[in-house]
Amino acid sequence: MRMRKESAPSGVDGKFTRDKSTKREADRTPFRARRKRGAAIAETGPALFLLLIIIFFPMLDLLEMGAAYVFASIYHDYMIRELAIRTPEANGNAAAKAKIDTEFRSSGFFSFLKMTNDDMKVDSVEYLPNMTNPTQIQVATSVTVRPFINIPFFSTVPGLGAPVVFKLASQRPQEEKGRD
């Protein structure tokens, strides 16, 4: 417990004066406390603006980019798996590509990511070492994803204001060689 100091009598009337510690305690009135809380409310607007624009909306965009990468990876894996079990003919590849594109474009994930028909494409299909005797198939796909929320301050940053292109390429053993 804090001891209170009393100062010596001052002046002729013999009244005691307060020292600094009691003066500070006297300034802590409900009105002063209310003024301090009001300042915090006045700072809430700019803080909320910074919180939403700098942290919350970019975080939503980054989460959506993660989901879009998973979608692109699934699309690529499904494409290479389908092409590996078909005979190495141009006609068979076109039918498989059309089937896979139709399935993915009709999914809810495709519309959730706000994709258009030109956003998903197969860049190249190569049979290694050659098309007459393939042992491996190599497929390259690209998926273009636009940000979930366009943030005006980050218009040139891919994923926050500009589209992102995911390019995936992989090889897989060719299962059907067209001989049987």
Q: What is the mean pLDDT of residues 56-70?
A: 91
Residue 31: band (very low, low, confident or very high) from pLDDT cuts 50, 70, 90 = low
Cα 131 to Cα 92: distance, rounded to the nearest angstrom: 13
How far is 111 from 164, CA to CA, in rounded Å?
17
Give the rounded distance of the alpha carbon of 105 from its chain centre. 22
Please check the confidence at residue 18 and state whether its pLDDT lies above 60: no
Q: Can you tell me the mean pLDDT for 4-16? A: 56
Q: Is the pLDDT score of 28 beyond 60?
A: no
pLDDT level of residue 141 (50, 70, 90 thresholds): very high
